[in-house]
Structure 1
């Protein structure tokens, strides 16, 4: 296969485009802030009409991400994530406490029928924005892509806002995982014997150490943690259907029989208001799927692996969520007082309940351990995603320069440490000894809606990308991956996210509660302050479509050499029937 060529526009900066460090090519260029970007240079550099690219490497691999402020020029983020890592990273970010714990609450609120509708509708929206992300991430596989695309395709102020919002969201989410981990451990070891903060400290140390080694170590860890979760969900689905079929379990006298009898008790409980409320909750459960785009800049052969991961992740997540909600709705009555998990007791997880009802006495211990793995996996993904977002902000000049430092293993160490520190501070605020956790509740409210803002940003950036692509006279046939859902997909995503963002606080008006109102909408003013504040301070401008830079930083993969080598690494040339079967599931 012939190598791609570099267009002349890649060597000529757009007139109004703000040149930033993270988008510099391997040639030495000067940004609008006067910083000079120096890329690595070796014998494999190939000259082409005055331009330069690395044989078998991306222009974004080890050049524009290697601006080490402490002098180790030539060291950058490394493409060491394989296809299996990429898939499990996205799965790990979505299959977590939202599925294992909150799914029962959704059924208790609106019944199993409305729950199926809500999770299915949100799942289709996730597929739409994942398709949009796939098109952009395949064309421009940039680490920290969510904020990078905002800067690149619309306005540097948008990238500034998305980057800081996304970093804050995952940093605080890391703290929530630490809180959850301490609660889960108390299932075996009461907090009277060992305080929860001790376990939180142990877990944050483990997660930070894993993220400090190398991106491959992170990917490998996330692969196995996510694999455990996937296996647990599959076993749950199998046990659930066998239990519904009557093959296992002992019927309870006077209780409804598992199956249609339980489901039909009140499948559409609570009316439209209940449906709308769990529609919001279902959206939160799917957050994390966008991690594919964050990790694209450190993935081998992104043109092949990113679209594959996006397609696989959507169907697997949708299957897991839909089947899980169906089984819970057919085995546990919606009005079961323990289903809502109002006390936050891990023992009342609907997964645990189904195992116990099916006669598997050790189900509580097994599922509690799996939930702990889910929490650690989500924390692992959060630490990775937020550190890369902060690194991209530094490369763009929107965060202190020292956050751009990358060690010899390709890890932005200061970004990882800063994120871990913020997570620890948020966890400390959550302790009952400090204000009964009230400050932490505000932090959590501030972070709860930022995932939808990120999805909004992805959809909007895709529209701008396509408009700029068309305005510059380019052909869709040249795109490595084309989203067939455009323009419906991003428009649908924007509409759904706006409904969620502005409709989530509807309960604050019946009757009006200032506390609930602020808790629901306190995030939105900060979003506008970040965007317009940066726009005013940095004097940024909305880019004209013809001036959007669609070339700098593109990944030019030499398929004839590196592509085949990566295929061999993944053992994709010759697979046994057993490995092909596993590939369909995992």
Structure 2
């Protein structure tokens, strides 16, 4: 990417615990809590294979990306590596497409969060909630990269605790040690048309849904470039991808398909995790899941704002975007990339 001038270089500030939680947050999104029900309805219990195949693909890609990121830590990540290895056209295309993806995610996640908040406080319109959330997170990101890391750390920690608690409850129910619901065993894995009721083609179709759940795993290679020892952080995060996918996806989805029928009416609309909580007679299951989803979409929105600004910054420093988008403020955060990513979401 060339030597950056001191006035335009990023300042860093991410600590080890920030990068560790960023790597976890990257693979735990709202699509796990909501979109998994669609994948389950598509493939049945065999959705476990869809998550397994998609997870293996993510592991292989992350290993390859990590090798490049350790050798040359860069905020542009794979866009910069494509620029160097394939040609400027590849870096340009990948960088802009990746930036545009996250720009589209910003209003989507903000709207979901706003709808949840509006259901609690109906007097405030959805658009106002969406605007306030987006501006607040943008301001936090522009102040310091440490703010992003700290905010994401606590959001990720809450998501991890929620999933581990869900798995613990599910394991107790499957084992027959949960006293508040008459459900146990794993017979539902084959009781409703078999383990693969809709055939292997449905598993492949479900993979299209499950792959979206893993979007964000690569963010750690972008964020690690703003830490003190990016090579160590990237290696640690990449090596832990396997157990993160195993615990957060395979174990939690196994609990779902073991406890509720895959063809249960209303599964898509209610969501898989909420359906399990209601089956276990957990009070206020909808409110609990709304809180978890709100945390997840806020985390995703926070990451989307961060990632879009960094990719636009990288494109600008390589001459593939206007120079103003590569400017940084006193905190060494790219205000140009962050500012111009906001109006783009309206088009």
After superposition, residues 114-133 of structure 1 pair within 5 angstroms as 114-133=46-65
Whether 1:211 and 2:141 are equivalent positions in the alignment is: yes
Higher helix share: 2
Whether 1:222 and 2:152 are equivalent positions in the alignment is: yes
Report the counterpart of residue 490 of structure 1 in structure 2. none
Report the counterpart of residue 494 of structure 1 in structure 2. none
Please give the alpha-carbon distance, in whole angstroms, between the structure 1 residues aligned to 2:281 and 2:200.
36
After superposition, residues 389-428 of structure 1 pair within 5 angstroms as 389-423=311-345, 425=346
Deviation per residue, 1:129-148 (Å, 9 max, x gap): 11111111111001111211
Maintained 8 Å contact 1:355/1:363: yes
Please give the alpha-carbon distance, in whole angstroms, between the structure 1 residues aligned to 2:240 and 2:186.
31
Equivalent in 3, 13, 18 of residue 85 of structure 1 = 18
Pairwise CA distance, 1:412:
0.4
* Higher gyration radius (CA): 1
After superposition, residues 131-210 of structure 1 pair within 5 angstroms as 131-190=63-122, 193-210=123-140
Equivalent in 232, 235, 254 of residue 304 of structure 1 = 232
Equivalent in 366, 370, 382 of residue 304 of structure 2 = 382
Please give the alpha-carbon distance, in whole angstroms, between the structure 2 residues aligned to 1:288 and 1:249.
38
Maintained 8 Å contact 1:210/1:217: yes
Maintained 8 Å contact 1:91/1:317: no
User: Structure 1's 276 and 329: CA in aligned 2 closer, same or farther, altered over 3 A?
Assistant: same
Equivalent in 282, 288, 310 of residue 366 of structure 1 = 288
Deviation per residue, 1:236-268 (Å, 9 max, x gap): 10011112223325446xxxx443222222321
Equivalent in 233, 239, 242 of residue 163 of structure 2 = 233
Please give the alpha-carbon distance, in whole angstroms, between the structure 2 residues aligned to 1:302 and 1:81.
10
Please give the alpha-carbon distance, in whole angstroms, between the structure 1 residues aligned to 2:238 and 2:259.
32
Deviation per residue, 1:21-67 (Å, 9 max, x gap): x323xxxxxxxxxxxxxxxxxxxxxxxxxxxxxxxxxxxxxxx2x3x
Report the counterpart of residue 210 of structure 2 in structure 1. 282
- SS in structure 2 of the partner of residue 337 of structure 1: coil
Pairwise CA distance, 1:80:
1.3
Please give the alpha-carbon distance, in whole angstroms, between the structure 1 residues aligned to 2:203 and 2:237.
31
- SS in structure 1 of the partner of residue 343 of structure 2: helix
Pairwise CA distance, 1:371:
0.8
Please give the alpha-carbon distance, in whole angstroms, between the structure 2 residues aligned to 1:298 and 1:314.
24
Asked which structure has the greater RCO (Cα within 8 Å, sep 6+), the reply is 2
Please give the alpha-carbon distance, in whole angstroms, between the structure 1 residues aligned to 2:273 and 2:307.
28
Pairwise CA distance, 1:187:
3.6
Pairwise CA distance, 1:90:
2.7
Maintained 8 Å contact 1:95/1:317: no
- SS in structure 2 of the partner of residue 141 of structure 1: coil
Please give the alpha-carbon distance, in whole angstroms, between the structure 1 residues aligned to 2:38 and 2:83.
39
Maintained 8 Å contact 1:258/1:332: no
Maintained 8 Å contact 1:81/1:300: yes
Report the counterpart of residue 520 of structure 1 in structure 2. none
Pairwise CA distance, 1:417:
1.2
Maintained 8 Å contact 2:171/2:255: yes
User: Structure 1's 208 and 74: CA in aligned 2 closer, same or farther, altered over 3 A?
Assistant: closer
Pairwise CA distance, 1:312:
1.8
Maintained 8 Å contact 2:26/2:220: no
Please give the alpha-carbon distance, in whole angstroms, between the structure 1 residues aligned to 2:118 and 2:172.
31
User: Structure 1's 297 and 251: CA in aligned 2 closer, same or farther, altered over 3 A?
Assistant: closer
Equivalent in 238, 241, 253 of residue 325 of structure 1 = 253
- SS in structure 2 of the partner of residue 79 of structure 1: coil
Report the counterpart of residue 353 of structure 1 in structure 2. 275
Equivalent in 95, 102, 106 of residue 39 of structure 2 = 106
CA RMSD across the alignment: 1.6
Please give the alpha-carbon distance, in whole angstroms, between the structure 2 residues aligned to 1:75 and 1:179.
33
Pairwise CA distance, 1:103:
0.9
Which residues of structure 2 form unaligned runs of 5+? Answer: none
Report the counterpart of residue 262 of structure 1 in structure 2. 188
